[in-house]
Amino acid sequence: MELLDGKFLAKTIKAELKEKVAEYKAKGWRAPHLCAILVGEDGASQTYVASKARDCEELGMESSVLRFPNYITENELLGEIEKVNINKNIDGLIVQMPVPEQINALNVMNNIDASKDVDGFHPVNVGKMFKGLDTFLPATPYGIMTMLERYKIETSGKHCVVIGRSDIVGKPMAALLMQNTYPGNCTVTVCHSRTKNLTDFTLKADIIIAALGKPEFLKANMVKEGAVIIDVGITRVDADNERGYVIRGDVAFDEVAAKASFITPVPGGVGLMTRIGLLQNTLKAYEGHMKAGV
């Protein structure tokens, strides 16, 4: 078994991105700028946004966070998004989810300038992704694809089972693995809450991507010998420790690792690569804006 070490790989890619940013700044270009909009006081969202700001600082990029109360109206929020859209010094914009119930999340995504949509959720970018065109990829699938590529994991002709059908992970992950590229050329099965006899599918899988949000759902008896296991799950589980919780993935790591050829840990796996995907998208947006003179 080989560990797919997101911590090591993220550090390596950050060094590469930092060097690129330094080269651009040496040419007299301004620094890339990522803006995050945070609505409300959700603790997990605040932690995640703070980690993105630290990443940007580490790479020599600019970052900003626009904070709004949870009672902001949808029209007010869309107005703030438009201010960022027209700001030529901001390259990437993310609106941290979830947003309050009075705000339609789809309207939020649709109103972000597609050229600044570094989360890869705008319909234009989603459409380009499905067509195999150059675009911003959703950060988590992007991070996973990067991990598969950097670890030189064979995907062509392999049977991949994706557990979960979310717009954020499951659907785009399946689309990317079907593309005639590397990584890609997989035969993909998407399983979800209505799938009957799920184990029948997972036992035949060469690659399993678990993205359903149920701690330690995937057990050893559901996995064949030598399978590649990608664990997207990250759930806080109550525990008797100082923090009061531990982080668990969707895979029962200890028992599944004994059968896997490659496996991601939680934490220290896909989560860190998601942040890398976002940084890569931000640099891509920056390069596009600077070369276009925008």
Q: Are strands 235-238 and 207-210 parallel, antiparallel or unpaired?
A: unpaired
> CB–CB of 218/190 below 8 Å?
no
Q: Which two tokens stand for residue 213?
A: 């949000």
The question of whether 167 is a catalytic residue gets the answer: no
Backbone angles phi, psi at 179, to 5 degrees: -65, 150
Per DSSP (E only), the strands in the chain are 2-3, 33-39, 62-68, 92-95, 159-163, 187-191, 207-210, 228-231, 235-238, 245-248, 262-263
The question of whether 52 is a catalytic residue gets the answer: yes
- Distance CA(216)–CA(210), nearest Å, equals 10
Catalytic residue of the set 55, 91, 117, 119: 119
Q: Which two tokens stand for residue 11?
A: 């550090």
Catalytic residue of the set 55, 91, 96, 158: 96
Contacts of 15 (CB under 8 A, 6+ apart): none
> CB–CB of 92/35 below 8 Å?
yes
Q: Please give the full DSSP string across 221-237, using - where no structure is assigned.
A: GGS-TT-EEEE---EEE
| Three-point CA angle 262, 133, 211, nearest 5° | 35
- Distance CA(290)–CA(254), nearest Å, equals 47
Per-residue three-class SS string for 13-63: HHHHHHHHHHHHHHCCCCCCEEEEEEECCCHHHHHHHHHHHHHHHHHCCEE
Catalytic residue of the set 52, 116, 171, 284: 52
- Distance CA(47)–CA(38), nearest Å, equals 11
The question of whether 96 is a catalytic residue gets the answer: yes
Catalytic residue ranges: 52, 96, 119
